[in-house]
Amino acid sequence: MKFGKEFASQMVQEWQAAYMDYNYLKNVLKEILRFRQRNSPSPIAATTPKGSLRRRVSLYRAFSGLTNRYNSFRGGSQENSKEDEVILVSSLQEGEASEGRVQTTFLMFSDEGGEYELVFFRRLDDEFNKVLEFYKAKVEEVVKEAEELNKQMDALIAFRIRVDNPVIESRHAQAVNPSANTSPSSATSSYPTISGRKSVRSHLEVIQEVEMRTERNVEDEVRPGTESNRSNHTKADKGNGGVAGFRPPSLEVLNHVKINVTPETPVSTLKNILVCTQSDLSFSKEEMRKVEEQMRQAFIEFYQQLRLLKSYCFLNQLAFSKIMKKYDKITSRNASKAYLEMIDKSYISSSDEVTRLIERVESVFIKHFSNGNRKKGINTLRPQAKRERHRVTFFLGLFSGCSIALIVAIIVLLHARHLIRSNGRGLYMRTIFPLYSLFGYIVLHMIMFSGNIYFWRRFRVNYPFIFGLKQGSELGYREVLLLSSGLAVLTLAAVISNLDMEMDPRTRSFETITELVPLGLVTLVLLITFCPFNIVYRTNRFFLIQCVFRCLCAPLYKVTLPDFFLADQLTSQVQAFRCIVFYIGYYGWGDFKTRSHAFQESKVFDGFSLAVAVIPYWLRFVQCLRRLLEDRRSMHAFNGLKYFSTIVAVVTRTGHEQQWGPIWQIMAAASSGVATIVNTYWDIVIDWGLLRRNSKNPWLREKLLVSNKNVYFVAIVLNVILRLAWMQSVLGFHQAPFLPRTAVIAIVACLEIIRRGIWNFFRLENEHLNNVGQYRAFKSVPLPFNYDDEDKRV
């Protein structure tokens, strides 16, 4: 793989604008090469093959090297080095507005084609200064975060001591803050337990805490080196917040903090609304466990940020080295040495704050959160990249082939037994078809989502970060296709068992076992979904269950992107929810042995069908209200009105379908038209960020991941067309003579799922580009302790 592609593949995508523009600089070098080839003074050189030209240049450089060594032996190296100088690299002095910025002077401007090389070095300086400023800003951010983590660790260690020693007088608090000459053991000698006896466990824990906090100080004192090195270490310890600083914390720190570990639950949300609860410390074991878990997650996220920042620094240095070597190769000059020496002396190479922070975070995490087990701690901080397994591909091919074979078998049975023209066709479509169409909707949605994952990965959309998935646990498109193909095999095999439409003439009933197959299939899917064992992607199943629960409890939970993204998916599965209601009616108070569907004429059933159709949109409506109360942004209010208009459209359409009166048809047509227009506008303009008139990409947006712009226009047209499926019930398309009503409804539902799949890709593309524009590459983890203001401290 060429370096340009490798460089792009290893970028932090949210920071891609802050990396060196390697491709642009390489194009400038190509312009220099083309100019030199056009203006070569030797006619032989003009007809020389490219490979031969490179050999001539390399031979010339080798010969020049021998000459230089010969001259250096004679003492003339200094004069020759001055004659061979190509560039002068200088940094702006301290006190200037742009301290640390680099400016390169090209000394060969008078040479033929020198203006091309001058452009190259100007752009090279711009790229280096951009990288330098971004790196400095990010280092300052991580230093501030390290200081905050250090304060959090002070409170955590004091909290641990207090939990293990619940009866601690104020006079004993001084014992945990000994002077530099006090041994760790003396710091714990006066901590009694409730019974008055000293706890061995408490002693060991406090000794360990003190050793953790003082170990770095001892290492710095005994480390050999100059006084400047020791002062640099001290400065770095203070700058990075210490993370494993010099002094053990005093218990007095607990007097200045409030705890923030109450989990967000429906009960806690209601308590906060009805009663103003205080976040005082209770010093319980459960509270300490929650604090440690939050700190653990904070350290993991902070460590990932440090690793990516270090990778950013290394990749850019490597890119500058590669581009300068290309310049030397094309121009036969020796400018890379001077420029790379400048990079080595710059802040981006000489700074070691990130490396020292990485070492300290590893040390603290291993001792505080891994019980001293280095292997366990490092594996937690550095999760292994997920590997593609051959067995996934094998079973995917197996299940896909079986699905195709079962579809062919069903078609053959329909024609061979003349089931299409059978008298029981209408009964089958009204009863059995809704039972199995539920799985068809699920399989189609999973196939569309696997396509989304494939294209997200292809265009480098960071969907695991956007969804907040645990690193290394996200599913690839093969895994999702494997699940969908497996479910398709089970569904198609069950369909074959229900193709026999012949009744027993004596009882006019079907076989009980055969009729219970769909219910058994639903039961199997639910058992796998809620299975507590580590099978069938348990992490992802539980993440899905958690998101569904948070959606159902809206607005009692804070709304995150996975929550409202999932709720949007549910709005496209309205017909699937109606199939679930059909299951309840068919097996609950219907006679499934005779395939009776008389329950559909019940008003209770109609009420349930209307409720399940409204619930997904209602969940999104209350989610918008929750976000409006938290963010105070009018955009959420408009979004809520959009879903409210959809609810009105669903209610009026249901009234028209159930023939509540002729006025309902007019209301259904008007409300459906308004909902269609509003939803279409919101999809394209707000969710996708398209139709920007003044954009550099006309009627699209400033940044696009897909290079072919026609894809976006096709997606816009498809979204508009598929949105018109809203009008099918109003315009009477469900009464088509050549298709049963249930088949038309299923086709319309499938079109909505396909539209949602298209929407998913562009919605996450827009979200990813927003993260890129704000350099947002990490999720914020709430810290467990809130400190009081400095002026309120004792």
d(CA 446, CA 457): 16
Picking from 493, 502, 301, the residue whose alpha carbon sits closest to that of residue 405 is 493
φ/ψ of residue 323, rounded to 5: -70, -35
pLDDT classification of 426: cutoffs 50, 70, 90: confident
Picking from 532, 535, 530, 543, the residue whose alpha carbon sits closest to that of residue 470 is 543
Helix (H) / strand (E) containing 91? strand 87-91
Q: Collect all residues with Cβ–Cβ distance below 8 Å to 545 and sequence separation of at least 6.
A: 529, 530
d(CA 688, CA 681): 10
d(CA 244, CA 755): 53
Q: Of the ranges 45-59, 275-289, 549-563, which one carries the lowest mean pLDDT score? A: 45-59
Helix (H) / strand (E) containing 259? strand 257-259
Sign of CA dihedral 689, 695, 699, 701: negative
Instruction: Map residue 103 onto helix, strand or coil.
Output: strand
Residue with tokens 């460590």: 303
- For position 763, what pLDDT does the model report? 95
Percentage of residues in the chain with pLDDT exceeding 90? 34
pLDDT classification of 777: cutoffs 50, 70, 90: confident
Q: What is the pLDDT of residues 542-599, one digit of tens each?
A: 999 999 999 999 888 889 999 999 999 999 999 999 999 999 888 887 777 777 777 7
C-beta of residue 701 within 8 angstroms of C-beta of residue 684: no
d(CA 630, CA 273): 13
Q: What is the DSSP letter of 692?
A: B
d(CA 338, CA 494): 74
Q: Whole-number mean pLDDT of the chain? A: 78
Q: How far is CA 37 from the centre of its chain?
A: 47
d(CA 105, CA 43): 32
Q: Collect all residues with Cβ–Cβ distance below 8 Å to 316 and sequence separation of at least 6.
A: 19, 20, 131, 135, 348
φ/ψ of residue 259, rounded to 5: -90, 150
Higher pLDDT, 491 or 422: 491
Torsion of CA 438, 442, 448, 451, to 10 degrees: -150
Written as six digits, the tokens of 641 are 């009105």
Q: How far is CA 340 from the centre of its chain?
A: 36
Residue 641 has pLDDT above 80, yes or no: yes
Residue 66 has pLDDT above 50, yes or no: no
Mean pLDDT of 308-319: 92
pLDDT classification of 793: cutoffs 50, 70, 90: very low
Higher pLDDT, 175 or 134: 134
d(CA 741, CA 575): 13
DSSP string, 579-644: HHHHHHHHHHTS-TTTT--GGGGSHHHHHHHHHHHHHHHHHHHHHHHHHHHHH--HHHHHHHHHHH
Helix (H) / strand (E) containing 787? strand 785-787
- Helix 114-164 vs helix 285-331: crossing angle, to nearest 10: 170
| Per-position b or e across 628-652, b if 16+ CB within 10 A of its CB | beeeeeeebeebbebbbbbbbbbbb
Q: What is the pLDDT of residues 645-657, one digit of tens each?
A: 999 998 888 877 7
- For position 129, what pLDDT does the model report? 92
The total number of residues written for the chain in this structure: 794
Q: What is the DSSP letter of 175?
A: G
- For position 264, what pLDDT does the model report? 65
Q: What is the pLDDT of residues 165-212, one digit of tens each?
A: 655 444 444 444 444 343 333 333 333 333 333 333 443 344 344 444
For 580, 682, 756, the CA distances from 726, given in Å and listed in that order, are: 21, 16, 14
Burial of 100 (0-12, 13-18, 19+ CB in 10 A): middle
DSSP string, 366-398: HHHHSTT-HHHHHHHHSPPPPPPPHHHHHHHHH
Q: What is the pLDDT of residues 196-253, one digit of tens each?
A: 333 334 433 443 444 444 444 434 433 444 444 444 444 444 444 445 444 555 677 7
Higher pLDDT, 471 or 437: 437
Q: What is the DSSP letter of 593?
A: T
Written as six digits, the tokens of 319 are 């890119």
Residue 393 has pLDDT above 80, yes or no: yes
Residue with tokens 């460089």: 7
Higher pLDDT, 261 or 490: 490
Written as six digits, the tokens of 229 are 């090195």
- For position 73, what pLDDT does the model report? 35
Instruction: Map residue 309 onto helix, strand or coil.
Output: helix
pLDDT classification of 74: cutoffs 50, 70, 90: very low
- Give the β-pairing of 102-106 and 785-787: unpaired
Residue with tokens 């082939």: 401
Mean pLDDT of 90-99: 57
Picking from 453, 478, 455, the residue whose alpha carbon sits closest to that of residue 464 is 453
For 192, 252, 312, the CA distances from 169, given in Å and listed in that order, are: 10, 11, 50
- For position 101, what pLDDT does the model report? 79
Residue 668 has pLDDT above 90, yes or no: no
Q: What is the DSSP letter of 785?
A: E
Instruction: Give the domain ranges of the chain.
Output: 390-773
pLDDT classification of 357: cutoffs 50, 70, 90: very high
Helix (H) / strand (E) containing 441? helix 425-458
d(CA 477, CA 209): 46
For 132, 154, 785, the CA distances from 253, given in Å and listed in that order, are: 38, 8, 11
Burial of 297 (0-12, 13-18, 19+ CB in 10 A): middle
φ/ψ of residue 106, rounded to 5: -90, 120
d(CA 531, CA 528): 5
End-to-end CA distance of the chain: 61
C-beta of residue 306 within 8 angstroms of C-beta of residue 354: yes
Q: What angle do CA 743, 746, 750 make, to 5 degrees?
A: 140
